[in-house]
Amino acid sequence: MLILQLQNCYSYLMLKKLRKIFISSAILFSPVLFFSCTKPGDSSVQQAVTAYGAGKYDQALELFNEALEKQTRYSDELIFAFISNIYSAKEDFENAAIWMEKSLEKKPDYRNYVTLGMDWQTLKNYQKAEEAYKNAIKMNEQKGEGWASLGMLYLEEGNSLEKSIESLKKGAEFAPKIAVIHAYLGVAYLKNGQNDLAEQEFALAKELKCENIEQIKEKFLK
């Protein structure tokens, strides 16, 4: 997924599309492939990845469930995360969150916590989204994605501009080249009456090739 590591400016729906890139890479380039022998369930996993890439989501789910009933070189947490990704592609975000939680129960993972937060946020379950983002931050306080996602959540909730600004500033500190963070921080400043700081952030976002600053403004400044 590499949730916010592109330098373009995009919405949460666009971010979700990046899950496909991350999770497919996680399966195809897993170190386990190079250090263990083939097991019966491996072919089901590989076929599931192919089906997923072709947009055959139901078939991919069936194949992953087959793999879970067999021995495979792939870990349960990786397969659970992939199943979550499929449900997200199907816009079934509740099941996406459920399966990502299963993955995280097996093995905590920074990016998966951020992804879980995105799913809960899409479902307007802000409490669970906040918890997931904070769990990501606990795992690594010096990555920008968790901080930025938390700041965007607070901005969407509309309850605390101060917390939104604080979190987005942290995101910008640790990921200064990600345009979307500056765009959202600019909106937060603007809503807080800090117009000069807002313009500075919008200028940075534009410099980093953010193409939909006006759309982001319209979303929050109606």
Give the three-state DSSP class for 3: coil
Please, where are the H alpha helices in the chain?
12-28, 32-35, 42-53, 57-68, 76-89, 93-106, 110-122, 126-139, 144-157, 161-174, 179-191, 195-207, 213-220
Q: What's the average model confidence in pLDDT over 161-181?
A: 96
pLDDT at 71 over 90: no
One-letter amino acid identity for 78? L
Q: What's the average model confidence in pLDDT over 64-93?
A: 91
Contact by Cβ (8 Å): 3, 18:
yes
Residues sharing a CB contact under 8 Å with residue 183, sequence separation 6 or more, in sequence order: 9, 201, 202, 205, 210, 213, 216
- What pLDDT, in 10s, does the model give residues 183-211? 999 999 999 999 999 999 999 999 999 88
Structural domains of the chain ordered from first start: 8-30+41-107 (1.25.40.10), 141-222 (1.25.40.10)
Helices 126-139 + 110-122 axis angle, to 10: 170
Separation of alpha carbons 166 and 148, rounded Å? 10
pLDDT at position 208, please?
Answer: 93
Separation of alpha carbons 222 and 219, rounded Å? 7
pLDDT at position 18, please?
Answer: 47
Separation of alpha carbons 170 and 165, rounded Å? 9
For Cα atoms 53, 55, 57, give the angle at the middle one, nearest 5 degrees: 105
- What pLDDT, in 10s, does the model give residues 119-165? 999 999 999 999 999 999 999 999 999 999 999 999 999 989 999 99
Whole-prediction pTM: 0.85
Q: What's the average model confidence in pLDDT over 85-111?
A: 96
- What pLDDT, in 10s, does the model give residues 9-21? 544 444 554 455 4
pLDDT at position 172, please?
Answer: 97
Q: What's the average model confidence in pLDDT over 53-65?
A: 94
pLDDT at 76 over 70: yes
Separation of alpha carbons 130 and 92, rounded Å? 20
Closest by CA position to 85, among listed 75, 97, 73: 97
Contact by Cβ (8 Å): 136, 114:
yes
pLDDT at position 36, please?
Answer: 56
